Amino acid sequence: MIERLWAKLGKSSLQPGEPIAPHNVPEHVAIIMDGNGRWAKDRGLPRMAGHHSGMKAVKRITIAADRLGVKYLTLYAFSTENWKRPKAEVDFLMKLPQQFLEIELDELIANNVQVRMMGHKEDLPSYTISAVEEAIVKTADNTGLVLNFALNYGSRMEMLEAVKEIATEVKRGQLAIEDIDEKVMADRLLTSGLPDPDLLIRTSGELRLSNFMMWQLAYSELWFTDVYWPEFTEEHFHEAIKEYQRRARRYGGL
Ligand code: FPP
């Protein structure tokens, strides 16, 4: 099925002689898709053009991840802090999930992709949430790549909510303080049921986490590139995966 998507983008760019080890592909890749605005500015275009182009990169990298056998791809599409941007830009960003899913949902279904979302739904416009919810429902039984959009997501808020939930359970006598462990916390995060990211990619040269998955990234490999998100290609994605494969993950051990 995925061939239909591949055909549109041309042949895989994976070069002979630069193999990606199939047994060591990260199960979960998380991406901070940064640099849309600067990409547009460099071209004398409005910031929205950068976001629109960023949406095309989402498709490109979803296909690239699926081809490699990545199981979970989490994309930071809108943070709890992004509301501070001018209203016109926020409105534009809020329309992107709907636009993307209008064009791509059938392909995602045909390719066995499961759409998920993590973030606070309450503050999102109804057209955003209904598009995402439709995609979630229609792809719920799919068993291929999990495409997880972080939308109105913030790690501190996520952890605070989890702590409040735990405190409530303790107060009600449903949970003993001694039983609070990493699993209890992880189960109350928005990523409950997902493995932690093995690899975090951030584009555009910024070297920070920006309130993204700060619990879940504790032992992830971090990979940064100066490339702006709209120009991030399958080749760049492969570079990141190959670098990941060169790393030794020790999780604090030897
Ligand atoms: C950061 O770049 C990017 C965002 C805040 C939005 C990311 C959204 C997309 C890439 C499209 C999402 C697509 C779907 C389908 C949900 P920036 O605007 O901060 O760039 P700058 O730092 O150069 O200004």
Task: List the CATH number of the domain containing 73.
Answer: 3.40.1180.10
Answer yes or no: is 184 within a domain: no
Distance of CA 65 to CAs 26, 128, 129, 144, 236, Å?
A: 10, 25, 25, 11, 12
pLDDT in the model for residue 114: 98
Q: Which domain holds residue 84?
A: 26-154+199-246
Answer yes or no: is 43 within a domain: yes
pLDDT in the model for residue 254: 81
Q: Which of 145, 158, 80 is nearest to 116 (CA)?
A: 145
Whether ligand 1 lies within 6 angstroms of the CB of 77 is answered as: yes
pLDDT in the model for residue 5: 46
Answer yes or no: is 208 within a domain: yes
Whether ligand 1 lies within 6 angstroms of the CB of 51 is answered as: yes
Whether ligand 1 lies within 6 angstroms of the CB of 124 is answered as: no
How many domains is the chain built from? 1
Answer yes or no: is 64 within a domain: yes
The closest residue, in CA terms, to atom 3 on ligand 1 is 34
Answer yes or no: is 168 within a domain: no
Tens-digit pLDDT string for the chain (254 aa): 444 443 444 444 445 447 899 999 999 999 999 999 999 999 999 999 999 999 999 999 999 999 999 999 999 999 999 999 999 999 999 999 999 999 999 999 999 999 999 999 999 999 999 999 999 999 999 999 999 999 999 999 999 999 999 999 999 999 999 999 999 999 999 999 999 999 999 999 999 999 999 999 999 999 999 999 999 999 999 999 999 999 988 888 88
The annotation places the binding site at 34-39, 47, 51, 79-81, 83, 85, 202, 208-210, 221
Answer yes or no: is 252 within a domain: no
Class of residue 45 by CB neighbours under 10 A (exposed 0-12, middle 13-18, buried 19+): middle
Is 34 considered catalytic here?
Answer: yes
pLDDT in the model for residue 252: 87
The closest residue, in CA terms, to atom 16 on ligand 1 is 97
Q: How far is the centre of ligand 1, averaged over its atoms, from the C-alpha of 36 (Å)?
A: 5
How far apart, in whole angstroms, are the C-alpha atoms of residue 204 and residue 210?
Answer: 13
Is 142 considered catalytic here?
Answer: no
pTM for this entry: 0.93
Answer yes or no: is 113 within a domain: yes
pLDDT in the model for residue 249: 84
Q: How far is the centre of ligand 1, averaged over its atoms, from the C-alpha of 58 (Å)?
A: 10
Answer yes or no: is 110 within a domain: yes
Whether ligand 1 lies within 6 angstroms of the CB of 119 is answered as: no
Q: How far is the centre of ligand 1, averaged over its atoms, from the C-alpha of 50 (Å)?
A: 8
Distance of CA 152 to CAs 120, 123, 175, 203, Å?
A: 6, 8, 29, 19
